Amino acid sequence: MKNKLSILFLLVTVFAHSQNVFNKKLILMGSSFEITVVAKDSTEGFKHINSAISEIKRIETLISSWDSNSQTSLINQNSGIKPVKVDQELFDLIERAIKLSKLTNGAFDISYASMDKIWKFDGSMTKMPSEEDIKKSVEKVGYENIILNKEKQTVYLKLKGMKIGFGAIGKGYAADKAKALLIKNGVTAGIINASGDLNTWGTQPNGNDWMVAIVNPLNKSKVFSWFPVKNRAVVTSGNYEKYVRFNDKLYTHIIDPRTGYPATGVLSVSIFTKTAELADALATSVFVMGKDTGLDFINQLNGVECIIIDENNKIITSNNIQLNTQN
């Protein structure tokens, strides 16, 4: 559904007491992660960081669709055949994903993984796919065909060849789980940056809030605006590198799972809310909905704000956001 960006966030941190801030960058879930914690010394700091890494790896084992032995893969392998019993954690994640699909009228849909990949964003496309091929590409997509049985704790995909995937929600979920574990273990402040799915808590050692900068999607060295972020998640979805253009119209790599057509008119969407899982899903949804429908949708949700940058590089914000723009 979308290709996450690892560079849309610039963390602005004041290291007045840098000996109390410890971080580590590494590849997890096939993407760049950075884990930052505040601790009294390096022994404690990296002990906590390593526990967060273990938690993220556990999540990956659960939701991975490329691991043939994962529960997610077993669900996909049995599509159109039989229900699959899963852990309560995975069942609950899928149940929340279906609720988000209903909330967004299908703009977010974990069954997007069933989509035929007929759009190429590597420069090889010379013409648009046919209308017939586009329609056919989403025949097996549809959250309505994900059947949950609460009593038996099973998941069943009704259509043969149907698949689910967590590419548009999994990293946000992993960030939330890592944060929750660290808080449980007594870490008072930190940041989980899951390749652009970012969750924060507490403050910097000097008492200042963590700061996050939204960069210009057309010029990664330019900052549009910065925000203090405290006990909040921020997720940005963007398309400025992966797109095709036909008849002077830009088509992004984020595909509408309802139609098979790429989203148009938007360069990036940043969502601010309580959890990275929710922000992850909503960033994709707003991108697919477009700036007008997406903005109206966000303005109806409590505790959610967004910044949209349209194809003309214009900044559009939801209610209750105050921009501190940078030149």
Percent of the chain with pLDDT over 70: 91
- Per-residue pLDDT tens for 217-252? 767 777 777 888 989 999 988 765 677 888 877 777
Q: How far is it, in rounded angstroms, from Cα 224 to Cα 323?
A: 9
- Per-residue pLDDT tens for 42-97? 999 999 999 999 999 999 999 998 888 899 999 999 999 999 999 999 999 999 99
Q: What's the one-letter identity of residue 56?
A: I
- Per-residue pLDDT tens for 108-121? 999 999 999 899 88
CATH code (residue 189): 3.10.520.10
**DSSP element (H, E) containing 154:** strand 154-157
Q: Which domain holds residue 181?
A: 1-327
Packing angle of the helix pair 170-184, 276-289 (nearest 10 deg): 160
Percent of the chain with pLDDT over 90: 68
Q: Determine the pLDDT at residue 241.
A: 61
Instruction: Look at the chain and report how many structural domains it folds into.
Output: 1
Q: How far is it, in rounded angstroms, from Cα 252 to Cα 240?
A: 8
Q: Determine the pLDDT at residue 23.
A: 94
Top pLDDT among 313 and 19 is at 313
- Give yes or no for residue 266 having a pLDDT over 80: yes
